[in-house]
Structures are given as C-alpha cells and as structure tokens.
Amino acid sequence: MNDELEEKGRFITVLFIIAANCFPLAGLAIWDWNVYNIVFLYWLESMVIGFYNVIKMLSLDEDTNIGLTFLFSTGYFSYLSVILFAICSLFGGNGFFTQQLTASLGALEPFKYQIALGAVSLVISHGISYFVHFIVRGERYDTDALTLFRAPFKRIVFIQILLLSSGWWIHKTHAGIFYLVLMVLLKIALDIHSHIQEHYGS
C-alpha cells in the first residue's frame, strides 16, 4: 500500500473511531443519558472487539488457531462477564448478582433503542478498521493466533479500569455533565492512541 492510501486508511479509521465514540455525547445532549448508559455502551464495545478478534483468529491458516480461538473466546468473554458484574455492582441495585443484573438492565430499558443504535455505530467503526487493516493492508499476513489472542486485552483492560473508576466517582458524587464529557473525550483520545500504536506503530 502506497503512502497516500496509507494516510487515507488512517484518516478514515480514526474518523470513524471519533464518530462512533461521540455517540454518548449525543446521548447526553438529546436523550438525557447518565454515566451508566455510557459505561454500558463501552462494555458492549468490548464485546464487539472480541467478536472481530475471533473472526481474525479463525481466518488464519494455522494448525493451532482453532484451539487458541476457543481459549480466547472462553477467557475473554468470561472476563467481560466479570466486568459486567462490576458494572452491576457499581451502578445497579443491591442484592445478589441476578437481582443486580435485573435492576441494572431494567434501568437501561428506556434507552434500549439509543444504546442499540450506539452499538451498531461501534460495530460499523470496528468493521471498517477490520476491513482497512486486516484485509486491505494485509495485517493478516503479518500476525499469528497468539499475537491476536493477546491484542484485545492489551487494548481494553486499562480503558475499562479508567471508565469504571471515573464512572463510579461521577456516579457517587453526582458530578456534572462536564465530567461525563471529559470522560468520553479521554476515552476517544486513548482509543486513537491505541489504534495508531496497534496498526501503525507510531
């Protein structure tokens, strides 16, 4: 891929990262979203990242990729279940996990269509990144199943800790919308940095 196409690919993928991650700002401005809606949407993004990573791993022509893909799926989505429990504990009601889960998901009911639309925007954004980098730029020829196994954890763990801790502080202190906007902007900046580091190494 020549330098011009390389720059166009970088520009397009970063643009879609910004657009998809700005969806919570629309939620704040138009639909009266709160910190829980935002954190839950970003949890869904982690599911999307895992989904595309499974596709990448399965597309490799390696003898070990099926076993590693199974191990990744088991470990990664189990990890996300723990994160969901943390979200329910921090933002949901009291009681056992099932009660917290019911109460937390019930609180999302009025916003389900907006959250679904936000999730679709994230699927599109990550899908474009997958197509541009893994297919067009040929990253599938320069990676292996073990590298892909590790990649999502390196990207999301720090961001999730940051979102949970800052989101919990905003939730408990009833901090204003300024801090919610700041949290979203920080998430966008971290996503762009991780994206460029992962795909361009600079």
Mean pLDDT estimate for the chain: 89
Confidence of residue 40 (pLDDT cuts 50, 70, 90): very high
User: Per-residue pLDDT tens for 103-157?
Assistant: 677 778 888 999 999 999 999 999 999 999 999 999 999 999 999 999 999 889 9
> Which H, E and C letters describe the chain, residue by residue?
CCHHHHHHHHHHHHHHHHHHHCHHHHHHHHCCCCHHHHHHHHHHHHHHHHHHHHHHHHHCCCCCHHHHHHHHHHHHHHHHHHHHHHHHHHHCCCCCHHHHHHHHHHHHHHHHHHHHHHHHHHHHHHHHHHHHHHHHCCHHHCCCHHHHHHHHHHHHHHHHHHHHHHHHHHHHHCCCHHHHHHHHHHHHHHHHHHHHHHHHCC
Confidence of residue 100 (pLDDT cuts 50, 70, 90): low
pLDDT greater than 80 at residue 64: no
Least confident of 10-19, 90-99, 170-179: 90-99
- For the chain, the structural domain boundaries read 3-200
